[in-house]
Each structure stands twice: as structure tokens, then as C-alpha cells.
Amino acid sequence: MAKKSKDSKSTSFFKEAMSWIIPVVVGIVIALLLRQFVITFARVDGPSMEPNLVNNERMVVWRQAKIKHLSVIVFDANGVDPEATKQNTDYVKRVIGLPGDTVSSKDGNIYVNGKKINQNFISKYQRTTGTGNWDLKSLSKSWPRNVNSVKVPKGKYFALGDHRSVSNDGRYWGFVPKDKVLGVAKTFFWETNKTKRDNVNSLAY
């Protein structure tokens, strides 16, 4: 009878332990799957997306969101920007050109497929300072790859920072491959004001 009682206690302890171990393991697995395939988080590093995103601002990144014109994306710049020599060096930029698009700049205006886009998300000073006059072909002459590009290639995007005069972006190193994109960034409501939040979250078309 004593042996039976000991076995019973062991069984009871095992069941009790498993009753909290299993939910913890399941929770961890679900969290990892969500992070890998659905949602992750990122933090802005530097001033390249000012005034809409500022240094150290936190964002949620939706991995499965459709990338559109003016979407703000987070991508691994290693292998894209020659200066990003470490793996998992994440950049935050705004998509200007989708695959097949032509993109050009003149007098502070950006043209996509010959049509001037609305850049009310940045000031006139930010639109004109440091932007220059160019098209993809003229820019691509100095790129490490995709030289003499006229259009954005299939499976790639052309992205710029909002703060053009300080942004290290597609003007200098070219296109962002789709497989480098972590997802579309959305800012939290407590991180910023409504105008800046809308400029990140609601402009994509």
C-alpha cells in the first residue's frame, strides 16, 4: 500500500507539472511563430525618417502586409547597402517605386510613371533639400548592381527616407529585394501625434 501511495504522489506531481509546462511551451511556440510569420517589432535608428519617425521610436512590423506605394517598410540592409556589413542591419524607408515603375525627381518633386506624387507627408524644405534632379538610369550608374536601370526590376522596390538630405537610401545603393523585406511598419498611437501617425500608417495606395 505504501508503494502505491508513493506512485500516486509521483503521478499527481507529474500531472500538476505538465499542467503548467505544456501551456508555457505552447505559448512560446505560438509567440515564435507569430514573430516569424505574422508580426515583429523594430526601433528607428537615426534621423532618416524624420519628421514622421524619430530616433528610437518603436514600431510594429506586419510581415504579411501588402507593400504599396508609400508603405513604410523595414528591411535587412546587409547585401543591399554595401556599408551595411553586419547581418540583420535593419533600415526603415518609404517605398516610392514598385516593380515595373519608373521613378524620377525634378525640383523637389518625385514622379512615378510620369505622375507627380503627393508628398504632403514632408515639408517643402524636406522635399527640395538634398533631393536633386535624377531618374533611375542616372542614379544607377554609380550603384554596385542593377546598373543602367530604367525601371524598378521584378521582385524589388525603390525606397527613400523622408528626411532626404540625411537619408542613406535607394538613391545611393539601388533597389530593395523583396526577400530582404521584414514587413510593413506601423507606429503605435502613444509614440507620436495623429498627423505623423497617419503619415506612416495610412498613406499607402
48 annotated active-site: yes
Closest CA to 203 of 44, 46, 49: 49
Q: Which of 4, 12, 48, 180 is catalytic?
A: 48
Half-sphere exposure of 18 (CA within 13 A, CB side): 6
Q: Which of 68, 71, 93, 178 is catalytic?
A: 93
151 annotated active-site: no
Angle value at C-alpha 6, between 5 and 7, nearest 5 degrees: 90
Closest CA to 168 of 44, 46, 75: 46
143 touches 174 (CB < 8 A)? yes
CA-CA distance, 87 to 77, in Å (whole number)? 8
Residues serving a catalytic function are: 48, 93
